[in-house]
Structure formats: C-alpha cells, structure tokens
Structure 1
Amino acid sequence: MPTFNEGRHPAEFLLSEANGQRSRGNITIAANQTIVPGSVLGQVTASGQWVGHDPAAVDGSRTAGAIALYGVQTGPAATFAISAIVREAEVNGKTLSYKAGLTAPQIAQIATDLAGKQIIVR
C-alpha cells in the first residue's frame, strides 16, 4: 500500500487570534518564492514585499514579521497577494515552516521578532 504525505493546511499553525480578523493582513509575496502555509516571512525593506525569512539576509528579511496563512509559488516576474498573520496571535511553533538548517538560537530569535508584533510562539 502506498504511503501518502499530507502537506500543511492553511492556518493549521494558528492557536488563537484577535477578535474578528484583526490578526490578519494582506501582504505581497515577492517573485521567485515558494511559500507553504505556516512559513515564517521577512519583509524586504526596499520593496515592502515579503519573502521567506532568512537570518543571513541583508535586505530586511532577516527579521521575522509575519506568518503565511496560505501557500503560493511565484514566478520570476510575478508577485502574489496572500493573507498572513501580522499581529496579535498565538501560534504553534512546531508547525511553523522555517528555512532549513536554522539553529536553536536562530529559532529563538524568530520567536523574539514575532513577539514584537504580539505573535506569540508556543
């Protein structure tokens, strides 16, 4: 019998959020990105667009600032708007998607960055 691997579901990581949809915001994902639900995102300072968080980046995306609610894959010249958690929420850190190879201190820094937006990683 074949084995099936189920991917992440939209908002699977979300434990609680502010009343209504105050925790959510519309953001623009930059070109050449593969984002899955629960991806930790950083904002590129020059463009205001969002990319997968990278602690080694020098473009502003080294600071975690949002978590993607939905997945998207953008092309080389295309951007895409999605909803993300941008403030006042609690999330399950074990179901977030981080860049491969991050160390425990780097993951702790992500939690600190998100706490600045009142996104608490549990």
Structure 2
Amino acid sequence: MSNPERQTYVPDQLSAGAFPVMIDTAVIASGQKLSRGAVLGQVTASGEYVLSKAAATDGSEAPAAVLDQFTDTTSGAQVAPIRLTGEVLASQLTLGEGFTLAQAKAALRSLCLFVR
C-alpha cells in the first residue's frame, strides 16, 4: 500500500474578500525594495510609482495602488503588477513614513481598495 503525499494549499494572503480585483502594470521607480502589499503613490512628473509617504510633495503623497509582488528596483526602474481595486488584509500592507493604517484605509477606500 502506498503512502499518499500530502500537500498544503496556502491561499493568497494579500486578498481579503470577494470584491473584484483589478490588476494592471506600472513602472516602479528605481532605488527601492518594496514588498508585496506596499501602498504606492504616483509621482506626477514621471508617472512612476513609489512607496507613498505622507510628507511627499511630488504627487506620491496620495495612495494610488497596492503593489502585487515583491519588487527590487535598486538597479533601475521596473514594471510590476499593481492592484487598483479589491480587498486587502491590513496586516499585509506596508505603509510609508507618516501614514497610519486609518489614513491609508480612508485614502484607498475611494479607489475601491478596501482594507480589512
């Protein structure tokens, strides 16, 4: 009699519900190492995305998306998937300097990105 092999399924830990997820690609600005779940803002002048920081004055101070995969741009800007809509787990988000979870949650809500 053979031993069956057991495998464990680990579901996507960023998603938090059934709200439709809309994913697009975007250019992530160079000089960053961002984890999946990073709250991104878009730099107005370049159109590139960076970790959104409350004190920024280049347009990126307004959260605009959530990064959907780890991205290392230390050697140059890269295209990466971003979430434009959906439900995400608060525990999986990376917030930029100056943001509280409540502030990020409120800003993302208007984009149909719901933090649970």
Please indicate the TM-score interval, normalised by the length of the shorter structure: 0.7 to 0.9
- The structure that has the greater radius of gyration is 2
Give 2:13's aligned residue.
12
Gaps of 5+ in 1: 1-10
User: Match for residue 32 of structure 1?
Assistant: 31
Task: State the distance in 2 between where 1:23 and 1:115 align.
Answer: 14
Please list every run of 5 or more consecutive structure 2 residues that lacks an aligned counterpart in the other structure. 1-11
Q: Does 1:98 align with 2:95?
A: yes
CA distance in 2, matches of 1:12, 1:63: 24
CA displacement, residues 83-111 of structure 1 (integer Å, 9 cap, x when unaligned)? 11112x111112211125x46xx332211
TM-score, with structure 1 as normaliser: 0.77
**What percent identity do the matched residue pairs reach?**
28
Number of equivalent positions: 105
* Cα deviation code 1:55-79 (max 9, x no counterpart): 0100111111111111111135x21
TM-score normalised by structure 2 residue count: 0.81
2-structure distance, mates of 1:80, 1:118: 25
- What secondary structure is seen at the aligned counterpart in 2 of 1:84? strand
What is aligned with 1:80?
Answer: 78
* Counterparts of 1:90 and 1:75, CA distance in 2: 29
What is the root-mean-square deviation of aligned Cα atoms in Å? 1.9
Query: 1:45 offset after TM fit, Å?
Result: 0.7
In structure 2, the partner of 1:65 is 64
CA contact (8 A) 2:33 2:74 kept: no
After TM superposition, where is structure 1 displaced by more than 3 Å over at least 4 residues in a row?
Answer: none
